Amino acid sequence: MSTHPAVVTVGPGLPLEIHQISTPKPVGDQVRVRSEWTASTPLDLHQADGGLLVTPPLVLGDGVAGTVVEVGSEVTRLRVGDKVFGFTWRNQAEKAHQEFVVAPEFLFGKLPDGATMQQAVTLPNNFVTAWHTFIEHFGFELPWPKPEGYVSKEADEAILIWGGSSSVGQYAIQILKWYGYKNVIATASKQHHDKLRGYGAVKCFDYRDVSVIEEIKNYAHGRAPQPGIPYILDCIGSLAGSVRPIAKIAEPGSKVAVLLPVTVKDAAIGIKPEYSLVVEECADWQSGVEARGVRTHFYLDNKSLAENLQSEIMPTLLAEGVIEPNEQVIVEGQTLLERAEKALSMLRNKAVSGARLVWRLSDDNSL
Ligand SMILES: NC(=O)c1ccc[n+]([C@@H]2O[C@H](COP(=O)([O-])OP(=O)(O)OC[C@H]3O[C@@H](n4cnc5c(N)ncnc54)[C@H](OP(=O)(O)O)[C@@H]3O)[C@@H](O)[C@H]2O)c1
């Protein structure tokens, strides 16, 4: 049986390793993709340093862009040679930080003309996360295809995107703009405010400002009765940095969606991070606030999203320029292991602001 290299965590805080693992043959609706570019996301750090929900050894990564090299007998949409990108995570064969990924075709979109793999690979997990959260946690419709002249019934209600410059935050704001939401506010550091306003935020606040909570509350109450902000998306999930501040803003009737995990103690060299998965217990939420944790992995429970979100909606909105990809910081390194370790260390050191870390899977630069 043929094998290929994969980046593997072998235990919390231990150095990453490259393992040769067997290359599965795609069956049924599966395709085999040669992974060319991947992205590193905070989940890699949660898994590698924190061991979060991991039984090692585990291949890391869940966003991939590459070329289809083999298809199963029931594949109807994709062909060998197609350039694709997708969010794939459910088992070792699907995980992204390896030379070949095998997954069903509905987990991939075709790379649009004019988009590079580096750009496209910034989308899959966090575009899906934002979309899923709006539907599952806020009850928004986001109809697809979007009818001509569509106006959502919550178009004028305030929506706070805490952490608007994060990868998820940027996609969230852009999706809301496209569906006509007109009262989106965001927190981010100041250097990102212009960009987020361009994406559709009507007002941005600096989350480092000592008076940020009062400022947001004053802004919201100048426009609406309680709850001043009916919808709050926490794209950061930091106990001190986002969850507790948000608990001071949310009021009875507010829906709060927090991207899990909630980080209680940050990762650092020699320090194992600590997490909570129970948002309800993380803060003193006012009675009447609905605060829940988001787990994107459940988006496939929604049949329509499973069938359309990655295969059609994501590539179409990228192709039409509705969604601008996150900026990319290319992680360089001589070997696969070097690039993977360096990306992890940059996540640990919080070295990225408003951008996504992307890197090549292959050591062969001609790919
Ligand atoms: N549960 C799920 O299904 C799921 C899915 C996707 C993501 N997530 C989680 O969501 C989180 C974000 O993921 P991501 O990939 O979008 O992160 P990211 O892009 O790596 O986030 C980096 C950004 O976070 C911002 N930031 C840091 N601390 C902040 C704070 N206290 N308040 C506001 N902004 C802050 C920084 O903003 P500035 O540069 O402006 O300072 C930086 O631009 C991660 O913990 C991830 O694991 C969960």
Domain with residue 54: its CATH number is 3.90.180.10
Last residue of a domain, one of 250, 281, 297: 297
With DSSP H G I counted as helix, E B as strand and the rest as coil, what are the percentages for the chain, rounded to 5?
A: 30, 25, 45
127 in a structural domain: no
Whether the per-residue pLDDT at 3 is higher than 70: the answer is yes
- Domain region containing 194: 133-297
In terms of domains, do 116 and 69 share one? yes
**CA 219 from centroid of its chain's CA atoms:** 28
* Atom of ligand 1 minimally distant from the CA of 169: 16
Residue 198 in this model has a pLDDT that exceeds 80:
yes
Q: Distance from the CA of 168 to the center of ligand 1, in angstroms?
A: 7
Number of domains in the chain: 2
Asked if residue 145 has a cis previous peptide bond (ω within 30° of 0), the answer is yes
Furthest C-alpha separation in the chain: 66
Residue 348 and residue 269 share a domain:
no
Rounded Cα gap, residues 331 and 38, in angstroms: 10
Which of 121, 187, 236 for mutating ligand 1's site (highest number of atoms within 8 Å of CB)?
236
Q: What's the CA gap between 72 and 64, in Å, rounded?
A: 19
The residue count of the chain comes to 367
For 318-338, what is each residue's pLDDT tens digit? 999 999 999 999 999 999 999
pLDDT at res. 366: 66
Q: Which residue's CA is minimally distant from atom 26 of ligand 1? A: 163
Looking at the structure, do residues 178 and 111 belong to the same domain, yes or no? no
**Contacts (Cβ under 8 Å, ≥6 apart) of 18:** 5, 6, 7, 8, 336, 337
**Residue 318 located in a structural domain:** no
Give the pocket of ligand 1 (CB within 6 Å).
Answer: 41-43, 46, 125-126, 129, 162-163, 165-168, 187-189, 192, 207, 235-238, 241-242, 259-260, 294-296, 352-354
Question: Tens of pLDDT along 145-176?
Answer: 999 999 999 999 999 999 999 999 999 999 99
Please give the distance, rounded to the nearest whole angstrom, from the Cα atom of residue 344 to the centre of ligand 1. 15
Per-residue model confidence (pLDDT) at position 236: 98
In a shared domain, residues 217 and 194: yes
Q: Answer yes or no: do 12 and 114 share one domain.
A: yes
Residues 104, 179 share a domain = no
Same domain, 244 and 140: yes
Burial class (CB in 10 A: 0-12, 13-18, 19+), 319: middle
Closest CA to 83 of 115, 57, 52, 106: 115
Residue 336 lies in a domain: yes
| Residue 157 CA, ligand 1 centroid: distance in Å | 24
Q: Is 137 found in the same domain as 110? A: no
Residue 285 pLDDT: 98
CATH number of the domain to which 284 belongs: 3.40.50.720
Query: Do 118 and 137 have their domain in common?
Result: no
> Which one, of 41, 39, 32, lies nearest residue 79 by Cα?
32
**Among 257, 280, 297, residue at a domain's last position:** 297
Ligand 1 pocket test, pick from 87, 121, 259 with the greatest ligand atom count within 8 Å of Cβ, gives: 259
At 284-308, the pLDDT tens digits run 999 999 999 999 999 999 999 999 9
Ligand 1 atom with minimal separation from the 355 CA = 19
Contact 160, 235 (CB under 8 A): no
One domain for residues 161 and 259: yes
